[in-house]
Amino acid sequence: MSLAHSSLEDTCAALAAGSIRSVDLLDALLDQARRVDPVIHAIAEWDEDRARAQAGQRDQERQRGVVRGALHGVPLAHKDLLFRPHRAPWCGSQVPVPPQTQQAGVLSRLEVAGAVDLGSVQLSEFAYNPTGHNWARGHVRNPWNPDFVTGGSSSGSAASVAARINFASIGSDTAASIRVPAACCGVTGLKPTHGLVDASGCVPLSYSLDTLGPIARSARDCALVLDAIAGTRTLATAHELPAGLRVGVASRYFVDDIHADVARGLEDALTALRGLGAQITPVTPTGLPQANANASVIIMSEATSAHRPWMAPHAARYSPTVLERLEQGAQFSAADYVGAQRYRAPALADFCDAVFANADVLVAPVIAIPVPRLDDVSAENDPAMNRIARDMTRLTRPINYLGLPALSLPVGRDSRGMPLAVQLIGRPHSEALLIQVGAALQRSTDWHRLRPSITPHRATSGAGDLPR
């Protein structure tokens, strides 16, 4: 098996044991990328020379007994909205973003942990599209079948991890953008509690909702990255499922009008959790439609504010869909925005009282529909885009509004061979519990170990291949 196909956790262990070198990992990823990225188009900008110099330095440091942290020597590439010194990200757009001298906080934390910075991966334009379509720089293709969307906006992060050209990637989640692409591409994604991870040096979409977090190949891999970027200790506690775990299942909203394949994926996850000894209990979340609507007001208002300096001089460089959304954001009044913000604290209290009084975690689908095809949206101004976008974010956006952590996990394949997923939702700062539950579920199933078979001409859909 190629070095590129190992989990992040196994890769870190092999590096620590001295059985592989960082430069060997880099070569394996680059070889895999040359083979599959012409199919999926996930890479935005990889700096091979800089990464090779860093990998060599990490190997030399390890030989001297110097280990920076748990990710020492692992090459990683991240969503292209993080600033590096004197190099601005393109954010999946043709609009020039002014460079900064300061490095993104999350990249600095990864550097402290010893990771090698391989560069950046693609995304929806300015992180403002949950399907993954990008008419400005080209669509990233789903590794399971290039005729299908990756989900967005962290499209390149999820696709690169699924295609085994990236061990893990930092994505951002404002309404769905870690969990939805992870779900569509059959990998694992963690949206942490809002504010847990430093978002400085990241081009914003919505200042008060943007959340950075990892997309990786497993819950334990996500824990490794989260511990590096947030100073948590989630991997250390990711052992057996807690005794007497209560798993809540919503009696409405999260199960309203979901596709039969999505419902089957949820039931398969519940069956696996029951087999692990979890107690499944019905819960009735409150306030989610209002939370969904209020989140939209905040996102659109703050996105317009963030882009106002660029919109006039560079309007022609925005794709029409993104420019239209930015212009719509100006229609909300100050009263609309303040009202949406003021409801957040009582909405969080009400939701936690309704759900977590009787459950430790809530399990729900990530998206209400099967993974859409790219051509379900025929053009940039196709009205189908708004309908599909609503279906892809209705079950995730309220969680951003409430600031809660959520872990997206693959739970099989739909009738067309495309990934299905559920999200585990917890109380504020319950990432360790979510990782515990996710890791236990993944120890008892093979869903997360399936990988797509990609040829130079297309990626094949189907059940996938287990690692050999």
Rounded CA-CA distance 315/84 in Å is 25
Q: Is residue 177 annotated as part of the catalytic site, yes or no?
A: yes
* Ramachandran assignment for 365, one of left (phi > 0), alpha (psi -120 to 50 degrees), beta (any other): beta
Sequence-distant contacts of 226-229: CB under 8 A, at least 24 apart: 226/190, 226/192, 226/197, 226/431, 226/435, 227/70, 228/69, 228/70, 228/71, 228/109, 228/110, 228/112, 228/113, 228/115, 229/106, 229/109, 229/110, 229/113, 229/170, 229/197, 229/198
Rounded CA-CA distance 129/175 in Å is 10
**Does the CA dihedral 128-133-139-141 come out positive or negative?**
positive
**Does the CA dihedral 132-136-141-147 come out positive or negative?**
positive
Q: Token match 């949820």: residue? A: 266
Q: Which of 7, 160, 169, 177 is catalytic?
A: 177
Using DSSP's 3-state secondary structure scheme, residue 202 falls into strand
Q: How far is CA 154 from CA 268, 278, 348, 352, in A?
A: 26, 32, 26, 28
Q: Which of 153, 296, 319, 430 is catalytic?
A: 153
Residues 6+ apart with CB under 8 A from 371: 142, 148, 149, 151, 183, 184, 414, 418, 419
Q: How far is CA 285 from CA 77, 423, 432, in A?
A: 37, 15, 22
- Give the DSSP H or E segment for 56: helix 48-63
190-222: b (≥16 Cβ within 10 Å) or e: bbbbbebbbbebbbbbbebbbbbbbbbbbbbbb
User: Amino acid letter at 322?
Assistant: V
Q: Which two tokens stand for residue 69?
A: 């942290």
Q: Is residue 153 annotated as part of the catalytic site, yes or no?
A: yes
Q: Which two tokens stand for residue 318?
A: 């925005």
Q: Could you give the strand order of the β-sheet that contains 43-46, starting from the edge strand earlier in sequence?
A: 43-46, 116-121, 75-79
Q: Which of 7, 22, 79, 157 is catalytic?
A: 79
Rounded CA-CA distance 333/325 in Å is 16
Q: Could you give the strand order of the β-sheet that contains 419-425, starting from the edge strand earlier in sequence?
A: 168-173, 211-216, 188-191, 406-413, 419-425, 361-365, 246-250, 279-283
Question: 170 with 212: CB under 8 angstroms?
Answer: yes
Residues in a beta bridge with 121: 43, 79
Active-site residues: which are they? 79, 153, 177
